[in-house]
Structure 1
Amino acid sequence: MTRIPDNDREIIETALYLPMLLKILERDKVLIEQGSFKIKSPYVDIVENAIKAVRKDLKIAGNYLRKEKMELEEIKRDADFTMYSFIYKGVEEHHTYFNPRLRNRTEELLRIYLQIDSTG
């Protein structure tokens, strides 16, 4: 059972997911720039706008964590799970995430930041 209020846990998780998303976007931008697209700039612009938005939100989350004396650290990772340490106002909690869930949530965020409707 966590002692971290839902709102604060959501901000900690934002600080967990957004760096993953940023890494994906930056790698994809390079792939687009190196790809054989006839016209690359619209795709690059979309990804760059998403990168700017992610960086802005990550900065907001980081500032909030510092202000509220919260920390996030990856402790260990294996093929199936990743464990994180959440430090909330001096109290440490360990949270384990199923790696496919991390990937799926990162994909959801990617769709949000790229403004893609997944309902088809």
Structure 2
Amino acid sequence: MTRIPENDREIIETALYLPMLLKILERDKVLIEQGSFKIKSPYVDIVENAIVTVRKDLKNAEDHLHKEKIKLAEIKRDADFTMYSFIYKGVEEHHNYFNPRLRNRTEELLRLYLQKDSTG
């Protein structure tokens, strides 16, 4: 059972997922730029806008974690699970995340950020 309030847990998970999303977006931007698209700039613009928004949201999450003295670290990874350590108010908790769930949630966020930035 976690002692971390839901609001702080959501911010911790934001700080967990957004770096993964940022890595994907940056890699995809390179692939688009190198790809054989007839007109690349609209795709690049959408991805770049998403990157800017993700970076801003990640900075806000990291600022909150720093202010509240919350620490997050990946401590173990295997084929099925990734374990993270959350230090909250001096108490360390370990949380296992199912790797397909990490991937699925990152994909959900990717869709949200791309839609958000393509619709204005």
Say yes or no: TM over 0.5. yes
RMSD: 0.7
Aligned to 1:92: 92
After superposition, the C-alpha distances for 1:32-64 in whole angstroms (9 at most, x for unaligned) are 000000000000000000000000000000000
Aligned to 1:5: 5
Aligned to 2:109: 109
Runs of 4 or more above 3 Å deviation: none
TM-score with structure 1 length normalisation?
0.96
CA distance in 1, matches of 2:46, 2:89: 38
Letter of the structure 1 residue corresponding to residue 28 of structure 2: D
CA distance in 2, matches of 1:75, 1:63: 22
Aligned to 1:38: 38
Task: Give the share of equivalent positions with the same residue, in percent.
Answer: 88
Aligned length: 116
Which sections of structure 2, spanning at least 5 residues, go unmatched? none
Task: Write 1 or 2 for the structure with the bigger share of helix.
Answer: 2
Aligned to 1:80: 80
CA distance in 2, matches of 1:113, 1:50: 6
CA distance in 2, matches of 1:115, 1:92: 36
CA distance in 2, matches of 1:90, 1:55: 27
Q: Does 1:67 align with 2:67?
A: yes
Q: Does 1:22 align with 2:33?
A: no
CA distance in 1, matches of 2:81, 2:7: 24
Secondary structure (helix, strand or coil) at the match of 1:36 reads: coil
